[in-house]
């Protein structure tokens, strides 16, 4: 049969049974036709879960006859026939240790050594080797060495992608193949607009694995290109895209909008790993997207059993970090309590601490589980695993302890021993904006006339540092900051810079919200000075007028 007619008929068949029946009617086939038949069988029989009917394929007489032909006549095969057959057999999970596979791999290696393979052949061979569970790095290095000698500008996007994938496996420490990578990166930049979603994801993933932080224009172009394809990425590809955005420090409003459209529509069919990666991206970039968060809450309520404990934590923690309660909060945290009761021992210690700490940020109190958290056994587990009991971990423990002390007076379980408590709770996401603090202090000096009437960055006995503290006596007169007697009221000014809010939002972060909540419970009058209220105040007088109204709204004796 004419090859063109053969492939036309072959590609019209949709089951291996039809293909075997078709092949049985032929008397003679070229090696290209035979390898094409194997490829078509692999296309119809292999899906995301593996081979659909391995016994029906691997034990079929026609299939076995084809395999014998390839095993004993491998040296007579064309390069295309050899490599297409190898690729198909690997996809069909034929034993890599079998004599058939050994024969094909050996023949491929021999032709590689003799320099008989074209760029297309080299990429096909590399792709097959990467599909094996334990690819031969030596053979892949040989392929890459041959590719180095070729003209990159003539490569197709598919060939470029395959070389990136091979380099992920072959590049070790040092500058090995960096010259090839530099050339590859330069050419890739010129074809970004031609890349499919799959190729875009693969290249970005390779740039992350290969630590190509210096190729800023290429990364920027790929990230911009990827945003247009959000609905078309598979779950794994979207994970690669988001990991690249995180690794290279990119944040794109158009990406956020695309995710806000895509995630709520697809949430119930998305893989849990993809869902948790979307939430991880939002959390690390401080993006409070209510459409995404609400959708994630719904899928956890109805389908939490599909998620691992690590994925559940990755989905819940951003609610606390970004200080957001969804409309379904009651059901969501009810579900979380059920998960904690049934799967408590499955959580890693540090994951569990992060999870419970994020809950108290938004006034969800895990009192039923705190006795276990404050137990010596659990604290030993924390200490034994990285990062151990570092300053952030002990700050979280201290804040949990302070929360139950101040907000859960009915809690009667074990307390956190003093040796695990910190003097000052760290707020890693909400550091003080020194420039903003300086402007507020200048305004206060203008208002109060003397520097002695307020103190900044004041350590309290209650584990928190107050940005600015002002003390008043019983009559409401301002006292010197150093005075400790006759203090009737304490005012805590929270100078909230942009970094204490969610990105592009006036929504205060969870760790700053709990601090202000606790300061109120400890007797402070908390006055929030957010950046967006003072950024346009142009001089000291206007700042002083603002502070007068904000800090002393009922006092008329102070004058600017």
d(C-alpha 460, C-alpha 438), whole Å: 21
The distance between the two most distant Cα atoms of the chain, rounded to a whole number of Å, is 108
Cβ 266 vs Cβ 299: under 8 Å = no
pLDDT at residue 363, rounded to an integer: 97
Integer-rounded Cα radius of gyration of the chain: 32
Pairing, β 455-459 against β 489-496? unpaired
d(C-alpha 395, C-alpha 377), whole Å: 19
d(C-alpha 459, C-alpha 454), whole Å: 13
Count, in order, helices (H) and strands (E) of the chain: 27, 7
- Full-model pTM: 0.89
> Which residues of the chain have a pLDDT value below 70?
133, 135, 172-175, 556-560
pLDDT at residue 386, rounded to an integer: 92
**SS3 at position 138:** helix
Count CB atoms within 10 A of the CB of residue 377.
7
Cβ 363 vs Cβ 399: under 8 Å = no
Q: Which residue has the tokens 């197709």?
A: 156
Q: What is 362-430 written as a DSSP string?
A: TT---TTTHHHHTSHHHHHHHHHSTT-S-HHHHHHHHHHHHHHHHH-TT--SPPPPGGG--SS---TT-
d(C-alpha 229, C-alpha 472), whole Å: 59
Count CB atoms within 10 A of the CB of residue 230.
20
Strands (E) in 236-285, as ranges, are none
Question: Containing H/E element for 293?
Answer: helix 290-303
CATH of 434-552, one of 3.30.70, 2.60.220, 2.60.60, 3.40.960: 3.40.960
d(C-alpha 393, C-alpha 283), whole Å: 18
Closest CA to 321 of 349, 291, 281: 281
pLDDT at residue 173, rounded to an integer: 53
Q: What is 152-175 written as a DSSP string?
A: GGG--HHHHHHHHHHHHHH--SSS
Question: Containing H/E element for 528?
Answer: strand 525-530
Paired strand residues for 478:
472
pLDDT at residue 538, rounded to an integer: 86
């Amino acid at each position: 049969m004419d090859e063109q007619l053969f492939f036309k008929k072959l590609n019209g068949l949709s089951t291996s049974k039809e293909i075997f029946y078709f092949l049985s009617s032929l008397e003679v086939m070229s090696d290209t036709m035979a390898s094409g038949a194997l490829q078509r069988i692999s296309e119809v029989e292999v899906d995301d879960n593996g081979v659909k009917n391995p016994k029906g394929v691997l034990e079929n007489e026609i299939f076995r006859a084809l395999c014998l032909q390839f095993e004993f006549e491998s040296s007579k095969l064309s390069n295309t026939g050899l490599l297409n057959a190898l690729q198909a057999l690997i996809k069909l999970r034929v034993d890599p240790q079998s004599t058939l596979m050994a024969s094909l791999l050996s023949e491929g290696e021999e032709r590689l050594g003799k320099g008989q393979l074209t760029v297309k052949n080299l990429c096909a061979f590399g792709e097959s080797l990467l599909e094996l569970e334990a690819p031969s790095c030596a053979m892949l290095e040989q392929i890459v060495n041959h590719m180095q000698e070729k003209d990159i500008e003539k490569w197709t996007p598919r060939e470029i992608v395959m070389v990136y994938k091979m380099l992920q496996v072959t590049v070790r420490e040092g500058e090995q193949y960096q010259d090839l990578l530099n050339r590859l990166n330069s050419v890739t930049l010129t074809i970004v607009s031609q890349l499919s979603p799959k190729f875009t994801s693969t290249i970005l993933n390779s740039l992350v694995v290969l630590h190509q932080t210096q190729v800023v224009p290429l990364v920027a172009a790929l990230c911009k290109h990827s945003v247009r394809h959000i609905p078309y990425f598979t779950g794994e590809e979207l994970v690669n895209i988001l990991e690249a955005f995180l690794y290279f420090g990119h944040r794109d409003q158009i990406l956020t909008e695309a995710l806000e459209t895509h995630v709520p529509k697809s949430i119930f069919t998305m893989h849990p790993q993809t869902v948790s990666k979307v939430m991880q991206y939002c959390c690390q970039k401080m993006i409070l997207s209510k459409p995404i968060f609400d959708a994630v809450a719904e899928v956890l309520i109805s389908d939490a059993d599909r998620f691992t404990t690590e994925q559940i934590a990755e989905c819940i923690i951003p609610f606390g970090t970004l200080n957001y309660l969804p409309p379904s909060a009651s059901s969501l945290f009810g579900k979380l309590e059920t998960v904690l009761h049934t799967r408590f021992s499955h959580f890693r210690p540090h994951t569990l601490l992060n999870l419970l700490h994020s809950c108290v940020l938004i006034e969800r109190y895990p009192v039923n589980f705190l006795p276990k958290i404050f137990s010596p056994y659990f604290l030993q587990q924390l200490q034994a695993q990285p990062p151990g009991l570092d300053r952030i971990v002990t700050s979280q423990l201290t804040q949990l302890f302070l929360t139950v002390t101040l907000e859960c007076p009915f809690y009667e379980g074990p307390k956190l021993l003093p040796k695990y408590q910190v003097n000052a709770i760290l707020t890693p996401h909400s550091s003080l904006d020194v420039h903003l603090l300086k402007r507020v202090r200048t305004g206060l000096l203008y208002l109060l006339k003397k520097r002695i009437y307020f103190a900044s960055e004041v350590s309290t006995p209650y584990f928190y540092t107050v940005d600015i503290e002002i003390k008043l006596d019983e009559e409401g007169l301002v006292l010197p900051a150093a005075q400790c007697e006759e203090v009737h009221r304490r005012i805590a000014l929270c100078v909230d810079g942009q970094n204490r809010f969610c990105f592009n939002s006036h929504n205060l972060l969870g760790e700053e919200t709990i601090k202000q909540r606790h300061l109120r419970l400890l007797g402070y009058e908390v006055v929030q000075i957010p950046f967006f209220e003072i950024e346009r105040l142009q001089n000291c007088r206007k700042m002083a007028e603002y502070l007068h109204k904000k800090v002393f709204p009922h006092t008329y004796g102070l004058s600017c």
